[in-house]
Amino acid sequence: MPDAHRWRVDGGRQRRQTVAMDPKLTTRELTSDLWLDLEALFGSNGACGGCWCMFWRQARGEDWSEIKGAVNKRRFRALVEEDRAHGVLAYVDGVPVGWAAFDRRRELGKLDRAPSLACDDADRVWSLPCFFVKAGHRRQGVASALIAAAVAAVRRRGGTVVEAYPVRPGKFGKSIPAAFAYTGTIPMFEAAGFQPVGERDRGKQRMRLKEKEAAGAGRRARNSSSA
């Protein structure tokens, strides 16, 4: 299994440090049969604030306070059972420790409506919109493994354009709190071969995977994942 990378701030500059992935770390693409694993990982809080990975699917005009929690959970489970919501789970010793969502951009209505993340070829885009790594397993290569596995899953479906939307440091400075880093960070996507598009000074940065990196990411995921 390849090494992952984490980043530290040194004198105002970001420096990459190599982090050896846990050899017991595996990934599996979500199916309805794995719902209980996802439920165990997300816990009663639905990963964060009752989200249940439905934030980017929120319909126009909906009040988040009315759908967070049980409504989101019910909706997301129905989508998973209908094979209309996709993602990858990470495991250590068979225990779920991480999650990354992926789907066609057009399926993620709130994301697709965001003016700051607009693009002119949305019909071609597959998005990696959010991550969740269990406390105690962060900064151990889980997110890097999830990115590789998600990209491989997109490629198997014929996807050619892969985007992500990591948060920029902005007001957080050296350390972005986990609750605000659910879309990932710029350095972790740069290490996976993504490049910034549509430069921004703050908020979320739209990034795309370089085409020459795509095949390699898929091979790495296949080599490190279990069925």
Please tell me whether residue 105 adopts helix, strand or coil conformation. Answer: helix
pTM comes to: 0.81
Q: 16-54 burial by CB neighbour count: b if 16+ within 10 A, else e?
A: eeeeebbeebbbbbbeeebeebbeebbeeebbbebbbbb
Q: Are 164 and 227 in contact (CB under 8 A)?
A: no
Locate all alpha helices (DSSP H) within 114-202, ordered by sequence: 142-156, 186-191
pLDDT tens across 187-197, in order?
999 999 999 99
Q: Are 149 and 27 in contact (CB under 8 A)?
A: yes
Nearest to 211 by CA among 153, 163, 139, 141: 163
* Statement: residue 15 has pLDDT above 50: no
- What is the structure's pLDDT at 213? 57
pLDDT tens across 108-126, in order?
999 999 999 999 999 999 9
* Statement: residue 169 has pLDDT above 90: no
* Statement: residue 77 has pLDDT above 60: yes
